[in-house]
Amino acid sequence: MALAAAPHAVANDTVALKNALYGAGYDINNVTPQMDESTRSALTAFQRDQGLDASGDLNNATKEALGIVAVQVAASGSPANASASRSAGTSGSGTGSEEPAARAGQDDVEEDDDGGWSFF
């Protein structure tokens, strides 16, 4: 069973890599799960531009530089991440004891007029 899941992990890494490289301004023409020559070339260029080992292989240092994180890490509600998020919103002259309901009006995001959300 573990072997069946391996290609999906690699494919997901490749798709995440392509999206991250595109977002960083590198020439990516497709978002398929296959590592093609143009993606490897863009990866190597990114690594070289960032002063990393330009191996053309997606390693942990490159993932970190691109901001690629594992889903398990991103989804974990670790106390360190939660406290950092809370402290980021309490800067200023306040004591930090302000209730979330009192702050809610400051950070509200409005919906579109039709009641839906738009990401484009």
Each residue's pLDDT tens digit, 19-39: 999 999 999 998 889 899 999
Question: What is the extent of the structural domain holding 39?
Answer: 8-70
Here the CATH number for the domain that contains residue 40 is: 1.10.101
Distance CA 48, CA 43 (A): 9
- Per-residue confidence (pLDDT) for residue 46, from 0 to 100: 97
- What is the count of structural domains for the chain? 1
Residue 93 in domain: no
Structure tokens that stand for 79 in this block: 């106390």
Residue 116 in domain: no
Asked whether residue 9 carries a pLDDT value surpassing 60, the answer given is no
Each residue's pLDDT tens digit, 42-51: 999 999 999 9
Q: Looking at residues 81-98, what average pLDDT do you find? A: 47
Residue 94 in domain: no
Residue 83 in domain: no
Residue 17 in domain: yes
Average pLDDT, the chain: 72
Asked whether residue 7 carries a pLDDT value surpassing 80, the answer given is no
Residue 19 in domain: yes
Residue 50 in domain: yes
